[in-house]
């Protein structure tokens, strides 16, 4: 009798988990971030990308994998999500590494400037809601979200149950496949129309906020443990765009000077594109979507320069002639970058 009771209990628990899992997937808000992570983390696990791109919206619209492919035959995927704090980046990177051995990992470090203990909930959910349940996801929830919210991240339907009034067929029949064509990349098409207010060369350094410094160290330690190569970046943006923010460091330029020293100490390349605007022929007025994000044309300039950097410094194979990667050639014709750049 006891064995039957235990067996029934196990079956009941499995059924409950299954039902909750289905309901979670229906009620979770469907965004481009969900599409890119499902495709990049779980639906294309056979693709061993040469390069994986990590970070917040600055990277999301910063480096375009389709341009890297078209230029150099390099395979890559952009896992950046809007507002992604550096602690979330760490756990998302660990999820990526489950299926990709020793890629070159490129981390944009804009979010090192966050002083708050936790990132904004909506931004954090862009990433964590779209991870499959695992020990890594549990660790992300425990370390990246307030304790009182743990249950809502673990069982998202507890957060989104009120959405039943707005559910559509798309929620029940969600298809993430379209997100794969752009390989996670998305940039705007506006032109900012203003110059940067950055004040030339800034000397001196400031300390990083404690939590972001801790997770930068964790990422460096992870690279040494797992054996993958790291590259740090800072995409072009107006340092004064965060002026007056109480939850942000006051002197971003000095923070990135500190990053440069940390990178040098750990023999990690750090490419600060705010210091390379002239070199890449970057025009802030026409190559920025707004004061903080590149548009599609600015991204193309940065990506072409970054592709040259990869070609000159790493032994990466040009896959364009390999029939195994024929789908990548097809995908490029469908990308946002190809369609828009072709019109300019």
pLDDT in tens, 265-293: 999 999 999 999 999 999 999 999 999 99
d(CA 142, CA 185): 28
Q: What is the mean pLDDT of residues 183-194?
A: 92
**Position 13 pLDDT exceeds 50:** no
Q: Give pLDDT, residue 16.
A: 44
Q: Give pLDDT, residue 101.
A: 80
Helix axes 252-265, 210-226, angle to 10 degrees: 30
d(CA 80, CA 96): 12
Q: Give pLDDT, residue 36.
A: 85
Name 232's Cβ contacts closer than 8 Å, sequence gap at least 6. 106, 107, 108, 109, 259, 263, 268, 269, 270, 271
* Strands of 104-108's sheet in order across: 76-78, 51-54, 104-108, 230-234, 270-272
**Position 319 pLDDT exceeds 50:** yes
**Alpha carbon separation from 76 to 8, 17, 278, 303 (Å, rounded):** 46, 34, 26, 12
Domains of the chain, earliest start first: 31-118+176-341 (3.40.50.1110)
Three-class DSSP category at 233: strand
User: How many Cβ atoms are within 10 Å of 20's Cβ, its own excluded?
Assistant: 15
Paired with 77 in beta bridges are: 52
**Higher confidence at residue 203 or residue 75?**
75
**Higher confidence at residue 15 or residue 32?**
32
**Position 314 pLDDT exceeds 50:** yes
Which of 143, 142, 132 lies closest to 98, judged by CA? 132
pTM for this predicted structure: 0.88
With contact defined as beta carbons under 8 Å apart, do 105 and 93 qualify? yes
Q: Give pLDDT, residue 47.
A: 59
């Amino acid at each position: 009798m006891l064995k039957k009771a235990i067996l029934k209990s196990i079956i009941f628990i499995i059924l409950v988990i299954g039902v909750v899992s289905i309901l979670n997937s229906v009620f979770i808000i469907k965004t481009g971030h969900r599409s890119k992570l499902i495709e990049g983390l779980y639906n294309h696990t056979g693709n061993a990308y040469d390069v994986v791109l990590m970070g917040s919206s600055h990277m999301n619209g910063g480096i375009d994998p389709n341009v890297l492919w078209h230029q150099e035959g390099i395979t890559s995927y952009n896992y950046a999500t809007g507002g992604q704090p550096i602690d979330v980046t760490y756990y998302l990177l660990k999820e990526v590494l489950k299926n990709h051995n020793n890629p070159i990992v490129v981390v944009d470090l804009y979010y090192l400037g966050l002083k708050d203990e936790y990132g904004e909930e909506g931004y954090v959910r862009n990433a964590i809601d779209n991870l499959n349940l695992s020990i890594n996801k549990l660790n992300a929830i425990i370390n990246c979200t307030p304790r009182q919210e743990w249950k809502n991240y673990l069982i998202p339907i507890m957060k989104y149950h009120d959405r039943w009034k707005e559910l559509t067929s798309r929620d029940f029949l969600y298809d993430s496949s379209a997100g794969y064509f752009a390989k996670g990349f998305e940039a705007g098409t506006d032109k900012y129309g203003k110059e940067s207010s950055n004040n030339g060369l800034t000397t001196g350094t400031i300390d990083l906020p404690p939590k972001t410094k801790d997770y930068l160290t964790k990422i460096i330690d992870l690279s040494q443990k797992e054996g993958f190569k790291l590259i740090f970046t800072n995409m072009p943006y107006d340092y004064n765009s965060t002026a007056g923010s109480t939850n942000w460091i006051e002197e971003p330029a000095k923070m990135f000077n500190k990053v440069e020293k940390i990178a040098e100490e750990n023999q990690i390349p750090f490419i600060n594109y705010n210091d390379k605007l002239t070199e890449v022929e970057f025009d802030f007025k026409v190559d920025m979507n707004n004061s903080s994000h590149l548009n599609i044309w600015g991204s193309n300039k940065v990506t072409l320069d970054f592709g040259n950097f990869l070609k000159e410094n790493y032994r990466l194979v040009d896959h364009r002639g390999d029939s195994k990667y024929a789908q990548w050639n097809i995908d490029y014709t469908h990308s946002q970058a190809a369609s828009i750049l072709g019109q300019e």
